[in-house]
Amino acid sequence: MKGIFEGGLENATKGGAVEEEEEDVEGYWGEELDVVNVDGIENRDIESILEEAEREEEEEDDGEGGWGGLEDLELPPELDTPKASANTRSSVFVTPTQGMPVSQIWSQKSSLAAEQAVAGSFDTALRLLHRQLGIKNFAPLKPKFLDLFSGSHSYLRAFSSLPVVPLTIERGWSESSSPNIRGPPALIFDFSQLEEKLKSGYKATTEGKLPEALALFLSILQTIPLVVVESRREVDEVKELIAIVKEYVLGLKMELKRREIKDDPVRQQELAAYFTHCNLQTPHLRLALLSAMAICFKSKNLATASNFAMRLLELNPVASQAKTARQVLQAAERNMTDETKLNYDFRNMFVICGSTNVPIYGGQKDVSCPYCTARFVPSQEGNICSVCDLAVIGTDASGLLCSPSQVR
């Protein structure tokens, strides 16, 4: 049949006219048909004709067309497999070389314990904290390490049949950031958070919620080693914060211990007296002086109570506090004596041992915590600091490192 480009489709759409044209087409093909006269091959047998046809086919398959002699050409064996030209792109996929994980880049570029924890290098972070601050008790830091690591990583799920894609979160990232430069890791702890927690601790102390206040101050003290600041001014502020919080932790622990004592009025008076020598905010120092004054007055230690009353009046207390202090002074003027002997001499400067809660007067030997700088009697050397609950007392340390500027 003719194809559609030869009028076959057009002829097929004409209906009854097809039969008339078929007669013409048959006549056309009939005229060109060359019928072989079988009677003309009487002198040749069929086998000779077939042999001749086979020879002709072999000559046609040779393809040389009379150009002989090529079968003697010897070619090098390396030419059997032709090489791809330089411009020909290979169809074989080559897997790109795997790059360095971002967490490893963070670990190699930083000397700060917080950023090592973010990168998952917990062992490196622990060694840095031990060398810088003498920290040996890492149990309180474990949940903070896990929070740091989790806060700087995320995961993207594309399809249920594919594994999740890990993502790292960088500090200060923006759309204009270069994709080839890795920024520092994002941190969930910062100095502003500690300042807000400090205010909450002050409020809880004012309201008399001492266990809650102690937990807040202790949390600040145990978070500072994992905080990163940007400038040296902020480094000084961090060190100042350590000194403030240390005083509150020491004082609140003594006050809570005093409240637990029921059958030792002498020890109660001593702990109340020591609390008034902690470096507290003025409103809290007034409350500590008022408490110590009342306890000593009830125990008939009028001379010591009058000392607290005079100190309280110097701080411009509220009217009710001032009235009580004047009444104690009037009662003490008639009999300026103490019925019981206390291990307390307000005339001599002293610091308070963080473990034994006894005064260490000027000229006496002491040891200190390399991190929070709390002071202790020499017998406490080698023990874990009872104030920060982190560092070893008396250990040599290089000092707090919390800013990249300190590294440079």
Q: By C-alpha distance, which of 351, 350, 354 is closest to 369?
A: 354
Say how far apart CA 218 and CA 264 lie, in whole Å. Answer: 28
375-376/367-368 β-pairing: antiparallel
pLDDT at 137 over 80: yes
pLDDT band at 338 (very low <50, low <70, confident <90, very high): very high
The total number of structural domains in the chain stands at: 2
Q: Which of 136, 161, 188 is the last residue of a domain?
A: 188
Q: Which residue has the higher pLDDT, 159 or 224?
A: 224
pLDDT computed for residue 181 by the predictor: 64
398, 391 contact by CB (below 8 A): no
Say how far apart CA 198 and CA 193 lie, in whole Å. Answer: 9
Residue 51: other Cβ atoms inside 10 A: 10
Backbone angles phi, psi at 361, to 5 degrees: -80, 165
Q: Which residue has the higher pLDDT, 57 or 165?
A: 165
pLDDT band at 157 (very low <50, low <70, confident <90, very high): confident
pLDDT band at 79 (very low <50, low <70, confident <90, very high): low
Residue 304 lies in a domain: yes
pLDDT computed for residue 47 by the predictor: 62
Residue 55 lies in a domain: no
Picking from 12-16, 91-95, 166-170, which range would have the lowest pLDDT averaged per residue? Answer: 12-16
Report the chain's C-alpha Rg in angstroms: 48
Q: What is the rounded average pLDDT of the residues 307-319?
A: 96
Q: Which of 308, 340, 372 is the last residue of a domain?
A: 340
Q: By C-alpha distance, which of 292, 270, 267, 248 is closest to 359?
A: 270
Residue 80 lies in a domain: no
Residue 361 lies in a domain: no
pLDDT at 7 over 50: no
Residue 89 lies in a domain: no
pLDDT band at 334 (very low <50, low <70, confident <90, very high): confident
Residue 95 lies in a domain: no
Picking from 23-32, 147-156, 307-316, which range would have the lowest pLDDT averaged per residue? Answer: 23-32
Q: What is the DSSP letter of 41?
A: G
pLDDT at 269 over 80: yes
Q: What is the rounded average pLDDT of the residues 364-375?
A: 96
254, 357 contact by CB (below 8 A): yes
pLDDT computed for residue 83 by the predictor: 55
- Say what the pTM is: 0.73
Q: Which residue has the higher pLDDT, 110 or 379?
A: 379
Residue 299: other Cβ atoms inside 10 A: 18
pLDDT computed for residue 196 by the predictor: 96
Q: Which residue has the higher pLDDT, 230 or 249?
A: 249
Instruction: Fill in the amino acid letter for 211.
Output: P
pLDDT at 198 over 70: yes
Q: Which of 319, 340, 361 is the last residue of a domain?
A: 340
Domain that holds residue 335: 263-340
pLDDT at 244 over 90: yes
pLDDT computed for residue 90 by the predictor: 60
pLDDT at 33 over 50: no
Q: What is the rounded average pLDDT of the residues 300-311?
A: 95
pLDDT at 253 over 70: yes
Q: By C-alpha distance, which of 313, 265, 266 is closest to 289?
A: 313
Both tokens of residue 137? 């008790």
Residue 155 lies in a domain: yes
pLDDT at 12 over 70: no
pLDDT band at 309 (very low <50, low <70, confident <90, very high): very high
pLDDT computed for residue 129 by the predictor: 95
pLDDT band at 69 (very low <50, low <70, confident <90, very high): low
pLDDT computed for residue 403 by the predictor: 83
- Find the farthest-apart pair of alpha carbons in the chain and give their distance in angstroms, rounded: 168
Residue 347 lies in a domain: no
pLDDT computed for residue 160 by the predictor: 79
- The per-residue DSSP string of 84-131 comes to PPTTSPPSS--PPPP---HHHHHHHH---HHHHHHTT-HHHHHHHHHH
Picking from 29-33, 209-213, 233-237, 255-259, which range would have the lowest pLDDT averaged per residue? Answer: 29-33
Q: What is the rounded average pLDDT of the residues 113-119?
A: 89
